[in-house]
Structure 1
Amino acid sequence: MRLALYSALSSKIEDNSLIIVDSLDGKNGKTREALSLLKNLNALDSTLIVCDDKNNLIYRGVKNLQNISIIDVSHVNVYDLLRYRNLIISKEDINKLMEVLS
């Protein structure tokens, strides 16, 4: 299972579809803010956001957007990584993902 996750992550890196951001904190959890963030990252279509806390304001901001999904770091799976074209994750959460994979 871990090998498959590593392979899926490697695929995202090779395709330049892994987007690492400094932080995924939403200012006030508004959809407009989330949409603006995704536009700036060129990730409006088929995007998976991985974050540590689903109660995060970013979750509130993206839950109404089509083709955008958000998942907790501890629940990342191969299917979701391959299903979405883009993967957005924060620097802090990528370290947590590596802990989950080890």
Structure 2
Amino acid sequence: MELSVYTIEGKDTGRKVTLDERVFGIQPHTQSVYLDIKRYLAHQRQGTHKTKERAEVARTTKKHHRQKGTGGARHGSLKSPIHRGGGTVFGPRPHDYVVRLNIKTIRLARRSALSAKAAENAITVVEDFTLEKPKTKDFLNILKNLQLADKKSLVIIGDKDNNVYLSSRNLEQSKVVIASELNTYQIMNAQNLLISESALGKIQDTLTK
């Protein structure tokens, strides 16, 4: 598949890039995509949730009332879970949510996600660009020129650029990521991908190894 390369003014440069069929032209493997997205979302969880159990609640251990003669049930410590303010039964404990996948499955998932976007004609290639200073208006103008301002877009650049990143930070529907940090969730969560030329080369080099 060939795509035209555009400038940040939205004009066709007259040049074309060829998308590697091994990355952008495969039959999407939905199970791998599901597993990789599940892995990503699981890793976003801190796993620090905790409730106090019976042994950890600061309450008296004095017997609540006498054993017999009250007409009620027997009770010991007020730490018991059946009392208000008592410990929690089977509450959450701190643990991690790591989901492990081998590198082949992860790369297959990313190739599948990119191929799905290519099949939807949801990929735009732009020549490498930068901004003189962080300014949201300038970044938004680039999206408007490329007809992406009203779409949920993922902008993929080749290398870290603080001016570009800071300029996009206030835009709810746009996210900037460098090619080396691209993941399946980000691809599938966007309506359109705006990929710089250098980023395209890095993506193809990484996913064809």
State the TM-score, normalized to the length of structure 1: 0.90
Structure 1 residue 42: deviation in Å? 1.1
Q: Is the counterpart of residue 32 in structure 1 residue 137 in structure 2?
A: yes
**In structure 1, C-alpha distance between the alignment counterparts of 2:120 and 2:132, rounded to whole Å:** 30
Residue 122 of structure 2: aligned partner = 17
Q: 1:41-56 to 2 correspondence within 5 Å? A: 41-44=146-149, 45-56=151-162
Q: Is the counterpart of residue 75 in structure 1 residue 184 in structure 2?
A: no
User: AA paired with 1:85?
Assistant: Q
Gaps of 5+ in 2: 1-105
User: AA paired with 2:143?
Assistant: L
Q: Which moved more, 1:68-77 or 1:49-58?
A: 49-58
- Cα deviations across residues 10-37 of structure 1 (Å, max 9, x unaligned)? 1111111111101131232211110100
Bigger fraction of residues in helix: 1
Q: Which moved more, 1:24-33 or 1:41-50?
A: 24-33
Q: Is the counterpart of residue 2 in structure 1 residue 113 in structure 2?
A: no
Q: Is the counterpart of residue 96 in structure 1 residue 202 in structure 2?
A: yes
**In structure 1, C-alpha distance between the alignment counterparts of 2:181 and 2:146, rounded to whole Å:** 24
| 4+ long deviations beyond 4 Å | none
- Cα deviations across residues 22-56 of structure 1 (Å, max 9, x unaligned)? 11312322111101000011112211111133334
Residue 64 of structure 1: aligned partner = 170
1:87 partner SS: strand
CA contact (8 A) 2:127 2:197 kept: yes
CA contact (8 A) 1:34 1:62 kept: yes
Gaps of 5+ in 1: none
CA contact (8 A) 1:49 1:69 kept: yes
CA contact (8 A) 2:158 2:196 kept: no
When the two chains are superposed, the root-mean-square deviation of aligned CA atoms in Å is: 1.4
Q: How many residue pairs were aligned? A: 102
User: AA paired with 1:29?
Assistant: P
